[in-house]
Amino acid sequence: AQTVTQSQPEMSVQEAETVTLSCTYDTSENNYYLFWYKQPPSRQMILVIRQEAYKQQNATENRFSVNFQKAAKSFSLKISDSQLGDTAMYFCAFLSGGYQKVTFGIGTKLQVIP
């Protein structure tokens, strides 16, 4: 079974600064997908970024980028120029290539401080 570990229960960052959220996972598969989801107080799950394991290039989406280290099974999220609207819970998630069952980490609560 796959596991996803987020070791930072809470983090804070000053507005306009950069913050990195960590995520590690464990799997014996070679084909899979990784995601970061944002969950604001509204509880809506919002996709932040996704990474296919077969792609070596790190995914980027505007201010969000990942550092995907496949051998180390690490998938960290970097948020640049943090904004107040980035305040939310962030969940790292794993999806096996052959299935649609998603495994979530326990989440990291990010607070952006004005």
Partner 1 sequence: GAVVSQHPSRVICKSGTSVKIECRSLDFQATTMFWYRQFPKQSLMLMATSNEGSKATYEQGVEKDKFLINHASLTLSTLTVTSAHPEDSSFYICSASREPRAGNTIYFGEGSWLTVV
Summarize as ranges the residues that interact with partner 1 (CB under 8 A). Answer: 32-33, 35, 37, 43-45, 47, 50, 52, 91, 93, 95, 97-102, 104-107
Q: How far apart are the first and last CA of the chain?
A: 41
51 or 82, CB closer to partner 1? 51
Q: Minimum Å distance from CB 42 to partner 1?
A: 8
Q: Minimum Å distance from CB 78 to partner 1?
A: 20
Q: In what helix (H) or strand (E) does residue 56 lie, and over which residues does it extend?
A: none
State whether residue 84 is helix, strand or coil: helix
Q: 32: Cβ–Cβ under 8 A, 6 or more apart, which residues?
A: 2, 53, 94, 95, 96, 97
98 or 114, CB closer to partner 1? 98
Q: Minimum Å distance from CB 81 to partner 1?
A: 24
